């Protein structure tokens, strides 16, 4: 049997999605990535899921980062969104396939994670 994610994780993601206007979000996947200083995430679309009607919920822990939120094309202009420990970002609906990324992580130390950033993204993979 496939392991299930901790109940509290799914509940947190569903609550955040509902607050952003996406009620009924029932994530079935949680990707966890650990970023060390210098690491970046180039502009991309999250399109490995089968169900684009569900939003993406992203939880940031540890070192701060700058999230880039673009448009429907890679060449579209981006908005810089600072993300700190505990921040939750949600994108869905017409924004579900917008390009996004993360600038190179600055060196630092965080009480919760030490010298890194941890990001959890909740999805409906289908
Ligand atoms: C972030 N993460 O770390 C945004 N996408 O703030 C992502 O966009 C992401 O962590 C695809 C797969 C894993 C990710
Ligand atoms: Fe992504």
- Evaluate whether residue 118 is within a structural domain: yes
Q: Has residue 2 been placed in a domain? A: no
The residue contributing the CA closest to ligand 1 atom 5 is: 46
| Structural domain contains residue 37 | yes
Atom 7, ligand 1: residue with shortest CA distance: 101
Is the shortest distance between the CB of 33 and ligand 1 below 6 Å? Answer: yes
Q: For residue 44, is it within any domain?
A: yes
Encode pLDDT of 70-109 as tens digits. 999 999 999 999 999 999 999 999 999 999 999 999 999 9
Query: How many CA atoms, within 13 angstroms, populate the side-chain half-sphere of residue 37?
Result: 8
User: What residues are paired with 34 via a beta bridge?
Assistant: 118
Q: Is 81 in the pocket of ligand 1 (CB under 6 A)?
A: no
* Residue 51 predicted with pLDDT over 90: no
Q: Tell me the C-alpha distance between 94 and 53, whole Å.
A: 9
Residue 60 confidence (pLDDT): 98
Strand partners, 65: 83
Structure tokens at 108: 């630092």
Which structural domain, as residue segments, surrounds residue 101?
A: 7-123
Please identify, by atom number, the ligand 1 atom nearest to the C-alpha of residue 33: 10
Question: For residue 61, how many other CB atoms are within 10 A of its CB?
Answer: 19
Confirm whether 50 is domain-assigned: yes
Distance CA 123, CA 46 (A): 10
CATH of residue 86: 2.60.120.590
Q: Measured between alpha carbons, how far is 90 from 105 in angstroms, rounded to an integer?
A: 21
Q: Is residue 36 part of a domain?
A: yes
* pLDDT tens for each residue of 8-37: 999 999 999 999 999 999 999 999 999 999
Domain count for the chain, please give it. 1
Identify which of 16, 41, 61, 69 to mutate to test ligand 1's pocket (most ligand atoms within 8 A of the CB). Answer: 41
Whether residue 1 is contained in a domain is answered as no
């Amino acid at each position: 049997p496939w392991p299930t994610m901790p109940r509290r994780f799914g509940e947190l993601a569903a609550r955040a999605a509902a607050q952003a206007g996406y009620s009924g979000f029932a994530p079935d996947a949680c990707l966890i990535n650990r970023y060390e200083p210098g690491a970046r995430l180039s502009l991309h679309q999250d399109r490995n899921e089968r169900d684009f009607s569900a939003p993406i919920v992203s939880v940031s822990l540890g070192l701060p980062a700058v999230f880039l939120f673009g448009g429907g094309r890679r060449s579209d202009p981006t908005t810089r969104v600072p993300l700190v420990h505990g921040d939750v970002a949600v994108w869905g609906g017409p924004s579900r396939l917008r390009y996004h990324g993360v600038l190179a992580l600055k060196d630092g130390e965080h009480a919760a994670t030490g010298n890194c950033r941890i990001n959890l993204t909740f999805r409906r993979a289908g």
